[in-house]
Amino acid sequence: MPFKSSPQKFNASIKTVEIGTGDKKIALGGENVLPFYSFDGSAENLKKVGIEILDTGLETFSPELAEFYGNETEIAAIAKKAAQAEGADFLCLRFEGADPNGLDRPVEECVAIASAVCDAIDIPLVIYGSKNGEKDIALFGAIAEALQGKNALFMSANEENYKTLAASVGLAYGQKLSAESAVDINLAKQLNVLIGQVGVAPESIVMNVGAATAGYGFEYVASTMQRTIMAALQQNDVMIQMPIITPVSSETWYVKESVAAEADVPEWGSANERGIMNEIATAAACLAAGSHAVILRHPTSVKAVSNLIQALA
């Protein structure tokens, strides 16, 4: 019996959010089909891949990864090299050094770093904070002001700081904002509603619904993404129709399978290759589950995942 295709048609669609300016700007979302269901209809925008660098430079990168950047020590030069990685649609600058429990880099210094990075690249910029709520409020406001007109994305607003960040990042300086929730579709929707009530348009919000390395409770992340996409398309829930961005690198490069020395577990093989495989596998799973953009660290991973997206388009 011949196979008869029955396309799934949805009257709803994911909202489109643009990041960056000029010819290299990117658009997330916009589709009304399930992830990679090109046989049901074409997605308006392909899924995107970002490459991550740290404000602290290459100190915490693996030796093999640091080799990609050569002998560069200036953050602007590192950013320029990262932006040239094959398959990189945007660059994510993570302010690990701004954490008060670490280097506690002053806000003014962080603003200078962000400005230098922005000037050095020609692809959209994503700013990732220190994960310290109080520091990020000051950090995001100052960087958003310095980058006015660049249409950058700031990650992330949560239930504790969303009012301040929505007002400063979203309203005062016209930047895009990521809403971060802890692997819970109800919390994700609630945060979208709250940020919208402050006055930020839905087209300026993306969602970070959580992340985990494949094999580390990832089924909860995948389930949340899938339920979010189905609620957006099947139920036409307008408050959950924002595109999803997932910071994969901050999870995969810190699990034991990626960091354990080869001398300790020789049967596991190269630590660098393990890290790359973890990053690729997790990113691919996130995209299949519903994420519209993933943030990776290794250029090999960026290229592989970008090729995957193109092959499945």
pLDDT digits (tens, 9 = 90+) for 100-135: 999 999 999 999 999 999 999 999 999 999 989 899
Amino acid letter for position 172: A
Residue 194, pLDDT above cutoff 90:
yes
Alpha-carbon span 149 to 140, nearest angstrom:
15
CA-to-CA dists, residue 6 to 9, 39, 41, 148, angstroms: 9, 10, 12, 47
**Residue in 116, 109, 66 with CA at minimum distance from that of residue 91:** 116
Helix/strand number for the chain, H first, E second: 11, 10
- Return the pLDDT at 3: 75
Average pLDDT on 177-201 reads 96
pLDDT of residue 7: 84
**How would you list the strands of the sheet with 293-296, edge to edge?**
205-208, 176-180, 153-157, 125-128, 90-94, 48-54, 293-296, 245-247
Residue 292 and residue 232: Cα distance in Å, rounded? Answer: 14
Q: Is residue 17 very low, low, confident or very high in pLDDT (cuts 50, 70, 90)?
A: very high
In this structure, are strands 17-19 and 26-28 parallel, antiparallel, or unpaired?
antiparallel
For residue 61, is pLDDT > 90?
A: no
What's this model's pTM, rounded to 2 decimal places? 0.96
Provide the 10 A C-beta neighbour count for residue 116.
15
Residue-level pLDDT at 41: 86
Taking alpha carbons only, the member of 232, 222, 182 closest to residue 202 is: 232
Give the pLDDT score at 177: 97
Mean pLDDT of 197-217: 95
Q: What is the pLDDT of residue 145?
A: 98
Highest average pLDDT, of 5-14, 63-72, 132-141, comes from 132-141
> How high is the pLDDT of residue 238?
96
Angle of CA points 196, 283, 204, to nearest 5°: 20
**Band of the pLDDT at 144, cuts 50, 70, 90?**
very high
Residue tagged 């099947």 (tokens): 234
Q: List CB contacts of 267: < 8 A, sequence separation 6 or more.
A: none
Considering only CA atoms, which of 88, 123, 107 is closest in space to residue 307?
A: 88
What confidence category does residue 2 fall into, taking pLDDT thresholds of 50, 70 and 90?
confident
pLDDT at 72: 86
At residue 276, the pLDDT reads 96
* Average pLDDT for 11-19: 97
Dihedral angle of Cα 69, 71, 77, 80, to the nearest 10 degrees: -20
pLDDT at position 147 is 98
pLDDT, tens digit, 9 for 90 and up, residues 62-91:
888 888 998 788 999 999 999 999 999 999
Per-residue model confidence (pLDDT) at position 63: 85
The average pLDDT across 265-291 equals 95
Mean pLDDT, all residues of the chain? 95
Give the DSSP H or E segment for 145.
helix 133-146
User: What would the mean pLDDT of 287-303 be, rounded to a whole number?
Assistant: 97
Taking every pair of C-alpha atoms in the chain, what is the biggest distance, in angstroms? 68
